[in-house]
Amino acid sequence: MGTRFEFQAKEMKLSIPASIKIYINGFLGRKAFFRRFCAESGIDLPLNPRKKVILPERYLIKDNAAIIYMGTIRDKAIVDAYSDFYDKYSALADYLVGTQNEINAQSEYLKNEEERLKDVGAKLAKEKNPMQKIFLESKKHEAEVRIKNQKIKLAGMESDFKIFKRLEAQNSATWKHQLTLIENSIEASIGKYLKNLGKKVIKKLDYNDFKYINPGHTDEVLEILGGRKNASS
């Protein structure tokens, strides 16, 4: 249905170079992250297996370069997807306006044709001349057939309009789904990164309740999203 106007959501995956860059960042940062975690939690190093330590209910990771980088990737994906969505949205909006104008014109045409048919019918009812009567009957029949066919045409135009109007609503819903796909993909990538970065903490302290603050959106993306605010993850 209307593929040239239909916006289709796409799954998002980090590129191979981006994935490698993020993995290396996490791998090389494990030791420093472990030391920082212990220092900020008041845990003395080296760890003493006979000494009990209290672990934080949650550990908030702030100003992390890899997470900020993934926020940049997220925003680029949103901008690119919105460009595609807006192209389809604009083309469909123009099509709907044009179709509505055609429907209005067709309706007006039929109204005029039906008025002419009434006039022919009125003349036929009064006509006494047999030859003229045959002519008017023929003209009346032609008008009736023409009107029936043009009504079929109007019904098809109205049906198309309804279909594409539904597509307009579908595209808006698909756009929201596209945003969810992008956000979920980035969240999954950040979660994978945190497991990599925090591997020493997870292994030595059996702790992995890492939290982070979503990177803020660019002004361009905020405008696309209508100024939606980000909340902590």
Interval 69-89: pLDDT, tens: 999 999 999 999 999 999 999
Which residue intervals of the chain are DSSP H helices? Answer: 16-41, 65-126, 130-197, 199-205, 219-225
The residue written with tokens 């098809």 in the block is 156
Distance CA 147, CA 142 (A): 9
* Long-range contacts of residues 148-151, Cβ cutoff 8 Å, at least 24 apart: 150/106, 150/109, 150/110, 150/113, 151/110
The most distant pair of C-alpha atoms in the chain lies apart, rounded to whole Å, by: 121
Interval 184-225: pLDDT, tens: 999 999 999 999 999 999 999 999 999 999 999 999 999 999
Interval 43-78: pLDDT, tens: 999 998 888 999 999 999 989 999 999 999 999 999
Q: Which residues pair with 60 in a beta bridge?
A: 211
First to last CA, the chain: 38
Radius of gyration, CA atoms only, the chain? 34
- Which two three-digit tokens encode residue 215? 């990177």
Interval 106-152: pLDDT, tens: 999 999 999 999 999 999 999 899 899 999 999 999 999 999 999 99
Q: What is the dihedral of CA 106, 109, 114, 116, to 10 degrees?
A: -160
Query: What is this structure's pTM?
Result: 0.83
